[in-house]
Amino acid sequence: MQAPPADTPEMRAALWSPRFPSPAGLDMAARMFDARPAWKGEEGPRPRIVIAPGAFAIEAPDLARRERRYERAEKARQLDVDVAATYLARGEEPPERIPSREITGWSRKSRASMVRALCELDYRPMLSDATRIPAMVTLTYPGDWLTVAPNGAASKKHLLALRKRFERAWDRPLQAIWKLEFQARGAPHYHLLMVPPHGLSKVPGPRATAAARIGAGLPFRQWLSEVWADIVAHPDPEEKRRHRLAGTGVDFAEGLRAHDPKRVSVYFTKHGSFAAKEYQHCVPPEWTEPGQGPGRFWGYWHLERVALAVEVTPDQAVRAARIARRWARAQGTTRQVAAPRTKGGQVRPGDLVIGLAGAQLMAGARPTRRRKVRRRVRRFASGKGFISVNNGSTFALQLARALSLT
């Protein structure tokens, strides 16, 4: 059988077949669970099941406590407004807030928050069209990067300027997911998952600014190189010339892997799964001074999070957590940890001798070393948590059916 040409719908479907659940499917899955009566102000946790396009979660929030916390936050914000109004009434500027801490790396909690957020996004406005193939866009900095990006705020201004120029040049909002990483030399770079536009960029009118004319009438790949080099604007002509030639990348092969919500989150977290590339999340020393930090490590533009929650009884939550925990264990997911290792064996509390002999035994114990091992990840250990799945509505439907049979 002769293979179809590369430009036919059959070949495009073979290369790119997006599978993103719709909000209607999530709503149907949520209706399969037996919802408990609405909250009437009583104290205590209320278990609930949360269904998203690429995530399944079990939570147990205390709504009464959450309401009190919200009231305290409102009072604190009102106090800040009153203080600022006092300064303005005297004709003075309110003092700037001093950051309480500086971001020097990417924590496990931040990584988990990003995974869940990416699994809860509705990608259909960006990736549901099988005729438009996504790509992974990379934005890097020149060799002398500190001259143009002395701190995180300056780098984020470059990223924001690229977004604004894209929307003006292509007459469409830039729907994308972005993530900040660092190279071994310390220079920042960005990864963006987006659908590159077809055709040529818009040619502005005669009254347009010089910046708006940069890259006019060019295909996306060339437009991106010209515009990103102009936004970074290194003062050295040679550095700027090299940056224009090698400062951007458009990889369609990586974009084709993002065919469902879970695969999108996997790509953006795969670098953090290996210790060999953990340096990509370590902030360079030049950005660790007060007020110079990188800010957010990730974000998204013109996309919305979709998640439906249904409150269930504690018994249903326990049974659902057991099923989800067994399913997660069957996936065989592991993570690298540092396990203690003592040459000659480690002294345990149960082996100690009481009295002076015990103190001497502990004093002579060899120091504990650590070795890197891979351990199986355990989900829903306390009956709460979340897992990333390829299709949240399908997973929830199957779990609801399993609950009805038990």
Segment 188-244, tens digit of pLDDT: 999 999 999 988 999 888 888 888 889 899 999 999 999 999 999 999 999 999 999
pLDDT, position 271: 46
Q: Give the pLDDT confidence of 282-292 residue by residue, as tens digits.
A: 888 888 887 78
Beta bridge partners of 56: 51, 387
Q: Which is nearest to 280 in space by CA: 160, 144, 189, 158?
A: 189
Contact predicate 279/265, CB 8 Å: no
Pair (212, 354) in one structural domain: no
2 by Cβ neighbours in 10 Å (0-12 / 13-18 / 19+) ranks as exposed
Domain membership flag for residue 9:
no
238 and 345 in a single domain? The answer is no
Q: Can you tell me the distance from the alpha carbon of 47 to that of 58, in angstroms, rounded to the nearest whole number?
A: 7
More confident residue, 351 or 130: 130
Say if residue 272 is in the same domain as residue 340.
no
Give the pLDDT confidence score for residue 5 in this predicted structure.
Answer: 46
Count of Cβ atoms closer than 10 Å to residue 156 Cβ: 18
Residues in the chain: 406
Element (H, E) at 24: helix 23-30
Q: What is the pLDDT of residue 40?
A: 86
Could you tell me if 214 and 354 lie in one domain?
A: no
Total domains present in the chain: 2
On whether the CB atoms of residues 167 and 99 are closer than 8 A, the answer is no
Task: Answer yes or no: is 384 within a domain.
Answer: no
Q: Would residue 274 count as lying in a domain?
A: yes
- Residue 198 resides in a domain: yes
Q: Tell me: do 153 and 218 sit in the same domain.
A: yes
pLDDT digits (tens, 9 = 90+) for 271-322: 444 444 566 778 888 888 877 888 889 999 999 999 999 999 999 999 999 9
Q: Is 70 a residue whose pLDDT tops 60?
A: yes
| 136: containing domain | 108-301
My answer on whether 288 and 207 are in the same domain is: yes
Residue 67 within a domain: no
Domain for residue 40, yes or no?
Answer: no
Give the sheet arrangement for strand 248-251, strand by strand.
Answer: 248-251, 135-139, 188-194, 176-182, 298-301
Please tell me whether residues 226 and 348 are part of one structural domain.
Answer: no
The answer to whether position 54 is within a domain reads: no
Which residue did the predictor score with more confidence, 335 or 160? 160
Is the residue at 394 inside a domain?
no
Give the integer Cα–Cα distance in Å for 193 and 115: 15
Share of the chain above pLDDT 90, in %: 49
Question: Cα–Cα distance between 124 and 126 in angstroms, integer?
Answer: 5
Are 208 and 295 part of one and the same domain?
Answer: yes
Q: Do 362 and 295 reside in the same domain of the chain?
A: no
The predicted model scores a pTM of: 0.82
Q: Whose CA is closest to 180, among 280, 253, 304, 286?
A: 280
Q: What is the pLDDT of residue 14?
A: 63
Distance CA 230, CA 222 (A): 12
Do both 226 and 352 map to the same domain? no
Of all residues in the chain, what percent carry a pLDDT higher than 70? 85
Closest CA to 345 of 326, 372, 369: 369
How much helix, strand and coil, in percent to the nearest 5, is found in the chain?
Answer: 45, 15, 40
Examine the fold and report which residue of 279, 301, 323 is the final residue of a domain before the chain moves on. 301
Question: Same domain, yes or no, for 254 and 362?
Answer: no
Same domain? For 290 and 340 the reply is no
